[in-house]
Amino acid sequence: MENLCASCYRCNEFKWMKTHGIDPVTGKLTLLFNPRIQNWYEHFEWINGGTHIAGLTPFGRVTVLTLHLNNELVVESRGLWMSWGWHPPTDMG
């Protein structure tokens, strides 16, 4: 139950039951970012004008890669949301 989080179908396919991933910098098995106890802005930043997410820490890097946070569909969606003034969010804790 502690690994449950609401997400769209596509994002949930990437997450499934994963709780860890391999950090590409350290090569170590690392926990995914936990939005219930960690601050988004300590572990991630918006890049490429806001269409992509970059991991700043091992937790962030592993989460971006493991959950495919910059997959083609979501990057395209973010660009559209930006044109409507909906993105990037300002309340990511």
Is 19 contained in some domain?
A: yes
Average of per-residue pLDDT values in the chain: 88
Is 4 contained in some domain?
A: no
pLDDT band at residue 4, thresholds of 50, 70 and 90?
low
Q: Quick one: pLDDT at residue 2? A: 60
Is 93 contained in some domain?
A: no
What's the number of domains the chain is made of? 1
pTM, entire model: 0.84
Is 2 contained in some domain?
A: no
Is 61 contained in some domain?
A: yes
pLDDT at 51 over 80: yes
What is the DSSP secondary-structure string of 63-92? Answer: HHHHTTTT-HHHHHHHHHHHHTT--S-S--
**Distant-in-sequence, close-in-space partners of 63: CB < 8 Å, separation ≥ 6:** 21, 32, 33, 43, 44, 55, 69
Cis before 35? omega within 30: no
Q: Quick one: pLDDT at residue 6? A: 62
pLDDT band at residue 45, thresholds of 50, 70 and 90?
very high
> Containing domain of residue 36, as a range?
9-83
